[in-house]
A and B are shown apart, each in its own frame.
Chain A
Amino acid sequence: MRRVAAAAAVCALLLTGCSADDGADSGRIRLRFQSLAWQDESVDANKDLVKEWNTSHPDVQVEYVQGSWDSIHDQLLTSFEGGEAPDIIHDASDDLADFAYGGYLADLSGLLPERLTSDIPRQSWETATFAKGVYGVPFLQEPRVLIANKKILDSSGVRIPTAGKPWSWEEFRQVTKTLTEKMGEGKYGVAWPLKEPVSATLNLSLSTGGQVFRRGADGKVEVRFDAADQVVPRTINAQVNTDGSASRTTLGSGGSDTLPGFFGGKYAMVPLGFSYRQQIVQQAPKGFEWQVLPAPAGAGGLTQGVSPQTLSVAEDSPHKKEAAEFIDFMLQPRNMVRLAKGDWMLPTGTKALADPALHTEKEGWSTGAALARDLRSAPAQSVRGYPEWKDKVATPALQEYYSGAIDAAELENRLVNDGNLVLSRYQR
Chain B
Amino acid sequence: MTTLRTSRSGRAGQYVALLCYLVFLAFPFLWLISTAFKPPRELGSLHPTWIPNDPTLANFRQAFDEQPLLQAAGNSLIAALSAALIAVVIATPMAYAMARNRNRLSAAATGWVVVSQAFPFVLVIIPLFLILKNLHLINTLFGLIMVYVVWSLPFALWMLVGYVRAVPRELEEAASVDGAGKLRTLVSVTAPLLAPGIVATALFAFITAWNEFFFALVLLKTPEKQTLPVVLTHFLGAEGVADLGPLAAAAFLATMPSLVIFAIIQKRITGGMLTGAVKS
Contacts and interface: CB of A to CB of B under 8 A. Distances in A.
Interface in A71-90: 71, 74-75, 78-79, 81-84, 86
Contacts of B237: 38-39, 69, 275
A82 B133 contact: yes
A84 to B, nearest CB: 6
B217 A75 contact: yes
A331 B48 CA distance: 42
B218 interface: yes
Contact of A255 (B81, B145, B239): B239
B125 A18 contact: no
Given A38-B235, A66-B234, A69-B236, A78 B126 contact: yes
Contact of B218 (A74, A264, A273): A74
Interface in B223-280: 223, 226, 230-231, 233-244
By size class, the interface of chain B is 35 or more
B234 A40 contact: no
Contact of B81 (A8, A14, A276): A14
Given A68-B236, A266-B46, A15 B137 contact: no
B133 to A, nearest CB: 5
A395 to B, nearest CB: 14
Contacts of B234: 38, 66, 68
Interface string A38-50: 1110010000000
A56 interface: no
A263 B46 contact: yes
Contacts of B236: 38, 68-70
Interface in A1-48: 1, 3-4, 7-8, 10-11, 14-15, 18-21, 32, 36, 38-40, 43
Contact of B82 (A3, A11, A74): A11
Interface string B84-120: 0110010000000000000000000000000000000
A15 B136 contact: no
A282 interface: yes
Nearest to B213: A71
Contacts of B15: none
Contacts of A256: 240-242, 244
Contact of B142 (A8, A15, A71, A83): A15
A7 B222 contact: no
Nearest to A276: B241
- State the main secondary structure of chain B at its contact with A: helix
A66 B243 CA distance: 15
B221 A71 contact: no
B221 A32 contact: yes
Interface in A296-336: none
A92 interface: yes
B167 interface: no
B85 A11 contact: yes
Contacts of B243: 38-40
B41 interface: yes
B240 A285 contact: no
Contacts of B44: 259-260, 263, 279, 282-285
A286 interface: yes
Contacts of B218: 74-75, 78-79
Interface in B54-99: 62, 66-67, 78, 81-82, 85-86, 89
Contact of B145 (A15, A82, A84): A15
A74 B214 contact: yes
Interface string A273-297: 1011001001111100000000000
Interface of B: 40-41, 43-48, 62, 66-67, 78, 81-82, 85-86, 89, 122, 125-126, 129-130, 133, 136-142, 145, 187, 213-214, 217-218, 221-223, 226, 230-231, 233-244
Given A74-B218, A254-B241, 5 more contacts: A66-B234, A68-B217, A69-B238, A84-B138, A285-B45
The 9 closest A-B pairs by CB, nearest first: A264-B46, A283-B44, A68-B233, A18-B141, A18-B142, A82-B129, A282-B40, A260-B46, A14-B82
